[in-house]
Amino acid sequence: MKILFNPNYIYKRENYKMNFEAKGPKFDPEQLKKLVHNGEGGCSVAQICKTLDITPASYYYWVKKLDIQTPYRASVKHSSSITKERVLELRNSGMKYTDIIAELGVSEDAYNTLLSKWGIVTDYKREKQNIAQITKEQLESLVQGGLSVKAICEELKIPERTYSRLLDKFGLVTGRKAAKQHAASITHEMLQGLVDEGFSKQEICARLKIQEYMFYRLLKRLNVQYNYLHNAHEVKISKAKLEELVKSGKTAKEIASELGIAVTTYHEKAKALGVATVFRESIDRINSVSKEEIQEALDAGMSVSAICEKFCITKMNYTALLRKYNLLTSMRESGEIIAGVTKEHILALRKAGKNTQEICKELNISKSTLRRILATGKNLEQT
């Protein structure tokens, strides 16, 4: 099939162009300039076209014809003035990516366009090229070689998150991932059944083929109640031996380390065997203090130190007793008062014509508390 060329096409096109220019724009050129330079970035092309009732092609034609400096043309002109040597100098100085862009005064797209134009390879692009070269066989051989995740990442020069993504991409399953998948398949009924049968932690781990750290995670995830006292046969300790260690003057941490158990397990075993420890004595001492005794000491105006000395307890124990018996001290009462005061309330009183002293008296707060609420915008209880 022959395509015939019409020689009149070029003539008609040029003739149309001349007539188009002779007629001039259908809008006021000053209005176009005003819309282009409106605000910092000007109006968008779509907004200008809609306002002037023109097409985007007409917009770009008249912008070029009238030589109107748009933000885009200004950025292109600015980018063309940046030299390759200047960019290399900034990159070699150790400046960050964002700092270089701010220093050059260009957008990210414009900066990346310049790098592509000059063939400059960034660290990010180099890293992507390095990742693209890693093969499934290469990664599989390193995984099967028994190397740690850190060692594999150092060998391949990739971060750990990329290592995980490559495993998913190539469909490779490591020992750790297989253990996680196996743990995910364990149900609440399976674990609860073994716990109810009275198996020890080691026996449960052996039956489910999991490690001890995973056992504790499963207890939390599956919400299984595991009573460690019912499994005291895991580490058998006689009462005589435990009393001997307590009398030796060692700390709870030292005794637990010697027995090869956790500190919490040591306290539980001491409680189960009825062995008096320093911890149990302090608990018993706290429980022996009644609500009436604490209230009587507070009514007498005794200080916190005096109350602690009288009942042989610490300040932390004193606070715990106040919460346990729900007792209000002057400090706790002031805290409740402050919790109900807001910045808006204070500003409303100021607007009503009251000064700082009158506001503090009405709200029953100090001047420092008032200043703090106004500064933070929150009350003292929230901060």
Q: Please, are residues 318 and 307 in contact by the beta-carbon 8 Å criterion?
A: yes
Fill in the DSSP letter of residue 225: -
Q: What pLDDT was estimated at residue 380?
A: 41
Residue that is last in its domain, among 234, 250, 273: 234
One-letter amino acid at 123 equals: D
Among the ranges 213-217, 223-227, 231-235, 365-369, which has the highest mean pLDDT value?
A: 213-217
Please check whether residue 155 lies inside any domain of the structure. Answer: yes
Residue ranges making up the domain that contains 359: 333-376
Residues 311/287, Cβ–Cβ less than 8 Å: no
152 & 100 share domain = no
Task: For residue 244, tell me if it sits in a domain.
Answer: no
Domain boundary among 50, 68, 86: 68
pTM, whole model, 2 decimals?
0.37
Question: Do 195 and 229 lie in a common domain?
Answer: yes
CA pseudo-torsion sign 68, 71, 73, 77:
positive
Please tell me whether residues 29 and 45 are part of one structural domain: yes
The reported pLDDT for the residue numbered 229 is 46
107 occurs within a structural domain: yes
Same domain? For 63 and 85 the reply is no
Give yes or no: residues 349 and 363 share one domain: yes
Residue 168 covered by a domain: yes
What is the model's pLDDT at position 233? 46
For residues 313 and 337, state if they share a domain: no
245 belongs to a structural domain: no
Q: With left for phi above 0 and alpha for psi between -120 and 50, is residue 290 left, alpha or beta?
A: beta
Percent of the chain with pLDDT over 70: 86
Regarding whether 54 and 14 lie in a shared domain, the answer is: yes
CA dist., res. 296 & res. 209, Å (int): 59
In a domain, 352, yes or no: yes
3-state helix, strand, coil in the chain (%, to 5): 70, 0, 30
Contact 258, 245 (CB under 8 A): yes
What is the pLDDT, as a whole number, of residue 7? 56
Average pLDDT (22-47) is 72
* 246 is a domain residue: no
Q: What is the DSSP letter of 197?
A: T
Number of domains present in the structure of the chain: 6
108 pLDDT above the threshold of 60: yes
- Tell me if 200 sits within 8 A of 231, measured CB to CB: yes
pLDDT at 235 over 50: yes
Residues 145 and 193 in one domain: no
How many residues make up the chain in this entry? 383
Residues 33 and 60 in one domain: yes
* Domain annotation covers residue 2: no
